[in-house]
Amino acid sequence: MNTTDSYLNFATTKNTSNLEVHNFTGISGDITTGGVGTLVIDLNTVNTGVALRDQRMRDLLFETAINPTATVTVVVPTTLVANLAVGQTAQTDIAAALNLHGVTANIATKVSIQKLSAT
């Protein structure tokens, strides 16, 4: 995983109608030759654009003193990566397993995958 160019966004709603997009600035991960990708999210790097809200998310929502990271595991179809040219990107909907606070849940998400090398 290229951590410089990779990003993870998430959205929240406020007052039932205001959609806000946020991100985490600290992510790392890799993908095996079999297509199993693992993403580790540093929950302390939540970035909502509002410092007080970031602190509240770290302290009250994510409880980063106890659970500093979350992990997402996905199985990327090997044909998707194999059919890409080096440097080419593809977007797809994918099922993922999110481990947060030691609890794993299946989620549906959209990912963008770029082939970085021929191997």
What are the tens digits of pLDDT across the range 103-113? Answer: 999 999 888 88
Structure tokens at 69: 């990271």
Residue 17's CB is within 10 A of a number of other CB atoms, namely 6
What are the tens digits of pLDDT across the range 50-87? Answer: 999 999 999 999 999 999 999 999 998 888 888 899 98
How far apart CA 13 and CA 17 sit, in angstroms, is 6
Bridge partners of 86, per DSSP, are none
How far apart CA 90 and CA 73 sit, in angstroms, is 18
Identify whether the C-beta of residue 6 lies closer than 8 Å to the C-beta of residue 28.
no
